[in-house]
């Protein structure tokens, strides 16, 4: 359980694999951005760009895998257990377990997505977030490669990754069978 995985909410192996692979790719992309920032702090510009390039590939992989999960759900492939799970989520109990205020905007937005669009909407939101990180990483690390980068863009990238990690953890929590 880490970033937008279905965990035990479904027995559908294709959806589980897609979300597991997407989660791993997103987390690796995040780690590679951090590695790039460390290299940048050490004035290792080529190594920073190399790490950033690999991060871009991982964010693209995450986007693709979340879209696979979304499409499988939209096709309705053996997802009755997933739909049943989402109908029975106790958001109040999950919020307490996560130590998040029930009125937290991100928490409420995730609930809204699930209630309006189901799991497919949640995975679409995760795909959009992965694509955003890919594009922002491209912008920043291409500037690094050229030797003329704006540190504030790097700070923005790290802040958005942080927010997305929270999103992914909350989304995964919804799919955990307990609470």
Which band of pLDDT confidence, cut at 50, 70 and 90, is reported for residue 1?
A: very low
pLDDT digits over 47-92, tens only? Answer: 999 999 999 999 999 999 999 999 998 887 667 777 888 888 888 9
Give the chain's mean pLDDT: 89
- pLDDT tens per residue across span 100-133: 998 899 999 999 999 999 889 999 999 999 999 9
Instruction: Count H helices and E strands in the chain, helices first.
Output: 6, 0
3-state secondary structure of 55: helix
Q: pTM to 2 decimals?
A: 0.91
DSSP conformational letter for 149? -
- Written as one string, the DSSP assignment of 72-130 is HHHTT-S-HHHHHHHHT--HHHHHHHHT--TT-HHHHHHHHHHHHHHHHHHHHHHHHHH
């Amino acid at each position: 359980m880490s970033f937008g995985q279905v965990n035990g909410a479904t027995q559908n192996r294709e959806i589980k694999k897609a979300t597991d692979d997407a989660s791993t790719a997103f987390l690796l992309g995040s780690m590679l951005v951090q590695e790039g920032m460390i290299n940048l702090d050490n004035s290792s510009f080529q190594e920073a760009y190399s790490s950033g390039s690999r991060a871009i590939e991982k964010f693209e992989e995450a986007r693709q895998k979340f879209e696979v999960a979304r499409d499988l759900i939209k096709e309705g492939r053996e997802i009755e257990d997933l739909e049943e799970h989402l109908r029975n989520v106790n958001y109040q109990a999950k919020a307490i377990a996560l130590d998040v205020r029930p009125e937290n905007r991100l928490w409420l937005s995730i609930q809204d997505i699930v209630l309006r669009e189901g799991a497919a909407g949640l995975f679409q939101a995760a795909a959009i977030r992965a694509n955003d990180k890919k594009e922002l990483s491209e912008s920043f690390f291409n500037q690094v490669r050229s030797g003329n980068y704006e540190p504030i863009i790097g700070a923005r990238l790290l802040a958005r990754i942080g927010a997305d990690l929270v999103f992914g953890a909350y989304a995964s929590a919804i799919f955990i069978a307990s609470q």
